[in-house]
Structure formats: C-alpha cells, structure tokens
Amino acid sequence: MDAATAFLAALAVTTAGGAVAARTLRLSARRAAGDFQRDGEAHRRAHARRTATYVDFATAADRIGDAVALWPATPAAARPGVLDEARGRLQELHARHGAVILDSSPAVRDAAAAVVADCERLVDGLDLDADPGPDLLALAERGRLTMPFLRAGRAYQEAESARYFRGAVRRAPRLSVR
C-alpha cells in the first residue's frame, strides 16, 4: 500500500470514529437531559427533607429559648422539671444538629453550631434558685436565637434551587424565616 492510500484509509477510519463518537455524545446528552428531569424530582424530595430538618432543629432550639425566657415566671416547685425538659431538648438539639451537618453548606453548619453553643450556654445558665441574667434572657428572645440559622438555611436552599431549577426558582418551596 502506498503512502497516499494509507493516509486515505487512516483518514476514513478516523472520520468514522469521530462520527460514532459524536453520535454517542449526542445520545448520552439526550439521556442525561432525561435523567436531569428525574433528578429534579429527587431534588424536590431532598429539598423537602432538608426543610423539615431545618425546621425541627430550629423548633428544638426555640423551645429551649422559651424555657429560659419563662424561667423567671416558673414556680420554684416546677423548675426541676423544666430544667430536666430543657436538658432533654438540648440532647434532641444535638441529635438534630447531626442531621443538619450531614446535608448543608458550611455557612449553615456554622450557624447551626452557633445555635447549639448558645443553647448549651442557656441550659447551663439555668439555676434552680436564681433567675437567668439579662444577657441570657436577651439571647432567649424568640427569633434572636435561631434567625441567623434560618437565614443561612434559606440562602442555601435558594442557591440549591437555582442550581437545579434555573428559572423556576420562584415556584420552588421556600424555608420561611418568620
């Protein structure tokens, strides 16, 4: 075989291989687009699960804040029970914190860690014979304790929705911070 014929044979094989590769890429792109539609539903389920996790975490923290805020009005006989309940809520908060850590951004994890640290400080500041100090009462104020966490969670949820849903973000469910 002479050089020109060998060159033409190699060119024909390369062109055929390129055509097969291009067709394969087009078909895989179509299949990936179909998979993306299925992943959109999976993302909606993950979004709902993540929202429930954030709400449960914030609710547990708010209940600790409520116990501390109501501590001055709590009768002395009822304080041991309220303290035990607050410690139980703190354990629940630690468990829910683990769930938040598993499926969140670094900003959400940092905000959740701050909430856990504040709740530990609140529960440790409860004394059966004394009212909490003004700094603890101010921290226990509703919304002040969990609002940074909820804002970080909402920002993360919206960023994830924008990534998956592109233009349909307005229709995606949102985490309320009220």
- Structure confidence by residue, pLDDT tens digits, 12-27: 667 766 666 667 767 6
Whether the per-residue pLDDT at 10 is higher than 80: the answer is no
- Inter-residue contact 126 to 86 (CB < 8 Å): yes
pLDDT digit string, tens, across residues 39-57 = 567 778 888 899 999 999 9
For residues 119 and 168, what is the distance between their CA atoms, to the nearest angstrom?
A: 37
Cβ neighbours for 72, distance < 8 A, ≥ 6 positions apart: 131, 132, 137
Number of domain units in the chain: 1
Cβ neighbours for 1, distance < 8 A, ≥ 6 positions apart: 9
- Inter-residue contact 149 to 111 (CB < 8 Å): yes
pLDDT of residue 96: 92
Residue with tokens 């998956």: 164
Q: Is residue 163 part of a domain?
A: yes
- Inter-residue contact 96 to 53 (CB < 8 Å): yes
Whether the per-residue pLDDT at 85 is higher than 90: the answer is yes
Q: Is residue 15 part of a domain?
A: no
Question: How would you write 36-49 as a 3-class SS string?
Answer: HHHHHHHHHHHHHH
Q: Is residue 9 part of a domain?
A: no
User: Residue 6's pLDDT band (boundaries 50, 70, 90)?
Assistant: confident
Domain residues for the domain of 51 are 47-171
Q: Is residue 156 part of a domain?
A: yes
DSSP string, 85-123: HHHHHHHHHHHHHHHHHHT--HHHHHHHHHHHHHHHHHH
3-state secondary structure of 127: strand
Q: Is residue 65 part of a domain?
A: yes
pLDDT of residue 11: 62
Please compute the mean of the pLDDT values over residues 50-66 and round it to a whole number.
Answer: 92
Please compute the mean of the pLDDT values over residues 146-157 and round it to a whole number.
Answer: 91
User: Residue 34's pLDDT band (boundaries 50, 70, 90)?
Assistant: low
Q: Is residue 77 part of a domain?
A: yes
Contacts of 34-38 with C-beta under 8 Å, sequence gap 24+, read none
Q: Is residue 125 part of a domain?
A: yes
pLDDT digit string, tens, across residues 94-143 = 999 999 998 889 999 999 999 999 999 989 988 888 888 777 777 777 67
Q: Is residue 22 part of a domain?
A: no
pLDDT of residue 137: 77
